C-alpha cells in the first residue's frame, strides 16, 4: 500500500490544564480518502484535527505527515512550515475565528498573498474560488457582517484558495440551515472527487455516509474505539451506544421497531 499522508503513532495529548484529550492514538490517513472522525462531545475530535494541522503537538507519540516528522521543532523551520501550510487546510468549527479581513475578497486573497504568489495568480485563484462557491454578490462585504452560512462559505473559500491537498473540517454542518448543509455535503464530495483528502470531525451521524468512506470513532476514554467502513461502523449499534453517539432511548427504539426509522430523516 502507498505511504500514508498522515501517520499518528501512539499519540497522547493533554491540555496544560491537565485535561486529557487523546490517549494512545494510532492512525494512518491515505491520499484521496474521505474520513469521518466520530465521537461524543469532548472525546477529542477537535484536538485530533489540531494535531493533524500542526497547531498542537503531542506530549508523547509522533505525527509523520508527507513522510516527515511534524513537531514544534520541524515546523519552526520556515521552509518546512511553508510546505506544510500549503498542503493542509483547516476549516474551523467557529468561522469567526477564521475571518479577520475587511472584505470577502481580501479574506480569500489572504492565503495566496501569504504564499507569495504573483498578483495575477492571486487574482485568478480568488476569482476561481468565488465562481466555484458562488460568492460574487458578497465579495465586497465585510465578512463579520455576514450570516452564519455565508461566513462558513467564505471561511471555506479562504482555505480553498490555498489549494491544499488535505482539508480538515471541524463540525462543518453545525448551525447551518438544511440547504446550506446539503451544499456543504455536496462540496465535500466534489472536492474529494477532484482528488482532495478530506477529514471531517462530526457527531452528525446523518451526514456521515455522504461525506466519508471510512469512519474513525473516538470513545469517551479519548482512545480509538473503532475504525472501519462507514456502513460497518454506523451499523454497529452497540458500539455507537458505548461511545455515546446514540442514546439508550434511540437504541431501544431501533431494536424494538426494527430499522424502519433509521433513515427516516434522510
Residues forming contacts to ligand ADP in the complex (CB under 6 A) are 15, 17, 19, 21, 39, 41-47
Residue 202 lies near Mg ion (rule: CB under 5 A):
no
Nearer to ligand ADP, 21 or 146 (CB): 21
Interacting residues of 18 by C-beta distance below 8 A, sequence separation 6+: none
Q: Which does 21 bind (CB under 5 to 8 A by kind): ligand ADP, Mg ion, none?
A: ligand ADP
The dihedrals phi and psi of 260, each to the nearest 5 degrees, come to -65, -20
Instruction: Kindly tell me which of 46 and 173 has the beta carbon lying closer to Mg ion.
Output: 46
Nearer Cβ to ligand ADP, position 44 or 89? 44
Q: How far is the CB of 224 from ligand ADP (least distance, A)?
A: 13
Residue 58 site contact among Mg ion, ligand ADP, none (CB < 5 to 8 Å, cut-off depends on kind)? none
Specify the 3-state DSSP secondary structure of 24.
strand
Give the shortest CB-220-to-ligand ADP separation in angstroms. 9
The binder of Mg ion chosen from 5, 29, 33, 46 (CB under 5 A): 46
Q: How far is CA 113 from CA 53, 71, 132, in A?
A: 20, 25, 20
CB 46, min distance to ligand ADP, A? 3
Partner touching 95 among ligand ADP, Mg ion, none, CB below 5 to 8 Å by kind: none
Q: 19: number of CA atoms within 13 Å, CB side?
A: 8
Query: Which option in Mg ion, ligand ADP, none does residue 39 bind, with CB closer than 5 to 8 A by kind?
Result: ligand ADP
Provide the 3-class DSSP secondary structure of residue 182: helix
Find residue 228's DSSP bridge partners. Answer: 215
- DSSP H/E element including 29: strand 20-29
Number of residues that bind Mg ion (CB under 5 A): 2
Task: Give least dist CB 20 to ligand ADP, A.
Answer: 7
Residue 44 interacts with, from ligand ADP, Mg ion, none (CB under 5-8 Å by kind): ligand ADP
Distance CA 227, CA 26 (A): 11
Q: Minimum distance from CB of 22 to ligand ADP (Å)?
A: 8
- Contact between residue 130 and residue 139 where contact means Cβ atoms under 8 Å apart: yes
- Distance, in Å, from the CA atom of 41 to the CA atom of 217, rounded to the nearest integer, reads 12
Length of the chain counted residue by residue: 266
H/E element, 178:
helix 178-193
Measured N-to-C along each axis, helices 104-114 and 119-132 cross at an angle, to the nearest 10 degrees, of 130
219 contact choice in ligand ADP, Mg ion, none (CB below 5 to 8 Å, kind-dependent): none
Q: Based on CB atoms, which residue is closest to ligand ADP, 45 or 125?
A: 45
Would you tell me which residues interact with Mg ion (CB under 5 A)?
A: 45-46
Amino acid at each position: 500500500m502507498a505511504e500514508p499522508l498522515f501517520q499518528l503513532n501512539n499519540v497522547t495529548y493533554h491540555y496544560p490544564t491537565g485535561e486529557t484529550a487523546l490517549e494512545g492514538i494510532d492512525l494512518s490517513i491515505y491520499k484521496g480518502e474521505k474520513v469521518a472522525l466520530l465521537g461524543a462531545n469532548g472525546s477529542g475530535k477537535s484536538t485530533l484535527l489540531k494535531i493533524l494541522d500542526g497547531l498542537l503537538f503531542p506530549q508523547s507519540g509522533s505525527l509523520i505527515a508527507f513522510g516527515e516528522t511534524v513537531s514544534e521543532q520541524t515546523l519552526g523551520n520556515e521552509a518546512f512550515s511553508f510546505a506544510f501550510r500549503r498542503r493542509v487546510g483547516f476549516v474551523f468549527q467557529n468561522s469567526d475565528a477564521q475571518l479577520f479581513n475587511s472584505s470577502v475578497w481580501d479574506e480569500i486573497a489572504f492565503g495566496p498573498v501569504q504564499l507569495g504568489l504573483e498578483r495575477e495568480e492571486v487574482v485568478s485563484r480568488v476569482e476561481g474560488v468565488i465562481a466555484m462557491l458562488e460568492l460574487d454578490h458578497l465579495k465586497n462585504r465585510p465578512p463579520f457582517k455576514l450570516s452564519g452560512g455565508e461566513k462558513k462559505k467564505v471561511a471555506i473559500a479562504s482555505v480553498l484558495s490555498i489549494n491544499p491537498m488535505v482539508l480538515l473540517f471541524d463540525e462543518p454542518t453545525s448551525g447551518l440551515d438544511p440547504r446550506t448543509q446539503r451544499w456543504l455535503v455536496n462540496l465535500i464530495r466534489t472536492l474529494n472527487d477532484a482528488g482532495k483528502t478530506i477529514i471531517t470531525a462530526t457527531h452528525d451521524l446523518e451526514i456521515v455516509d455522504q461525506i466519508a468512506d471510512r469512519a474513525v470513532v473516538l470513545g469517551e476514554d479519548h482512545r480509538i474505539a473503532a475504525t472501519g467502513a462507514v456502513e460497518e461502523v454506523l451499523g454497529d449499534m452497540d458500539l455507537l451506544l458505548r461511545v455515546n453517539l446514540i442514546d439508550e432511548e434511540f437504541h431501544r427504539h431501533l431494536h424494538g421497531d426494527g430499522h424502519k426509522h433509521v433513515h427516516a430523516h434522510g
